[in-house]
Amino acid sequence: MIDFELRPYPGEDKDAFIKRKAYFIRILRRRKDLSSWYIPKALVNNNKPISARDKELIDAFWGRYLSEDLRNHIVDYGYYDIYNNVLTPGEHLCYYIPDSFYQTFIDDYYTNPQHSFPCDDKNLYDLYFHDVNRPETIFRKTSDFILDGNYHEISLREAIDRCKAENEVILKKGKFSMAGKGIMIWNAQQSEKDLLDFLNESPDVVCQRMIKQHAELSRINPTSVNTVRIMTLVFKGQVHVLSRVLRMGVNGSRVDNASQGGIVCGIKPDGQLKNEAYNTYGKRFPVHPQGLEFESVKIPNFNECTELVMNLAKRFSSLSRLISWDLAIDEAGHPLLIEFNLTFGELDFHQFCNGPIFGELTEDVLADVFANSYTLKSIIKSFKN
């Protein structure tokens, strides 16, 4: 587990230390606490303790960057017990990135959270993605105003009537919603009070028309929109697709999030699913709980999904170089962009399904992070002093 305490550098100006410590409290501590909470549940039932030889190889790998003392504080070897359970022949266990290190240092470095986090607002998507196939906005609440899909003011009464005319809509908090939380599906058979209560809980809400997904994905679990998650990295002037997975609902669930009971399956470059899926605890599923064989599914026009996110990654590279994209496949078989995660993208299910997240780029990526991450260099310097 990452364990450190910020200390002033010898001769460091008091104001400089206060500023550095404020960043730790506001940004870094949240990352550290989140990564410590997020995965260890999987350690209980779905791990495979690493061998003494594994430990030697992992020590040698991290020894390129960290002394033994620093490794004990910064690299949580417990994650290797988890990923050892999903290791496939030919993979290097040491290339798996511990989630705590990834969230605290790698994601922090490539996503620039001080700039990207404030921009991760669903109510701005119609501006960001004006030229992209997306769910239609019924209305939005932005602080004190109710606006339509074109950002023109409408009354609250008109917004409610539009929802009733749709019969069923999905509402999402504009900011700080993740892992399936901050979402409500409302239908005309419910009371208006339910709708108003959700609107009153958050200053920023977007209300969208329900998605009609392609039949190929609907047959997996028809009650949820089963979405593609693609992670991209802009590295040394190129866009790299790091991982592709399909998130699926189970047993009549309305959402596909792994944290809400869903499962995740890797996607081959041609769009065909791999032969097994995982839940958030690292449990394997050789078939979908409702009986479907994963390899029988091929995502329509999957090359369009890849091309879309690679082009969009360039558009947002000044904000974040490491982005997780969520897409549905509409009835016509084309990608429909649901949202993107400029920062705090999940790691675990990518590595469960597809192996080490950075693959052959692993050593180059770590070299870049250790050489240029202000956060990581600051922590290492604090230990040495």
pLDDT tens digits for 153-195?
999 999 999 999 999 999 999 986 665 578 999 999 999 999 9
Q: Say if strands 273-278 and 263-267 run parallel, antiparallel, or are unpaired.
A: antiparallel
Q: Are residues 375 and 238 in the same domain?
A: no
- Helices 192-201 and 156-166 pack at an angle, to 10 degrees, of 120
What is the four-CA torsion angle of 144, 150, 152, 158, rounded to 10 degrees?
Answer: -80
- Are residues 239 and 343 located together in one domain of the fold? yes
101, burial (CB in 10 Å: exposed 0-12, middle 13-18, buried 19+): buried
Last residue of a domain, one of 167, 186, 209: 209
Within a domain: residue 1? no
User: Which CATH number does the domain housing residue 262 bear?
Assistant: 3.30.470.20
Statement to judge: residues 245 and 351 lie in one domain? yes
Band of residue 118 on the pLDDT scale cut at 50, 70, 90: confident
Segment among 69-73, 124-128, 183-187, 271-275 with least mean pLDDT: 69-73
| Domain presence at residue 125 | no
Burial of 238 (0-12, 13-18, 19+ CB in 10 A): exposed
Tokens standing for residue 27: 């940004």
Give the integer Cα–Cα distance in Å for 42 and 53: 23
Domain extent at residue 328? 213-358
Among residues 150, 182, 209, the one where a domain terminates is 209
Number of domains in the chain: 3
Q: Is residue 58 included in any domain, yes or no?
A: yes
With a cut of 80, say whether residue 383 has pLDDT above it.
no
Tell me the three-class secondary structure of 278-302, residue by residue: ECCCCCEECCCCCCCCHHHCECCCH
Q: What share of the chain is helix, strand, coil (3-state, %, to 5)?
A: 40, 20, 40
Looking at the domain assignment, is residue 55 inside a domain?
yes
Mean pLDDT of 332-340: 97
Q: Which of 165, 186, 209 is the last residue of a domain?
A: 209
Q: What is the rounded CA–CA span in Å between residue 7 and residue 4?
A: 9
Q: Indicate if 282 and 327 belong to the same structural domain.
A: yes
CATH number at residue 176: 3.30.1490
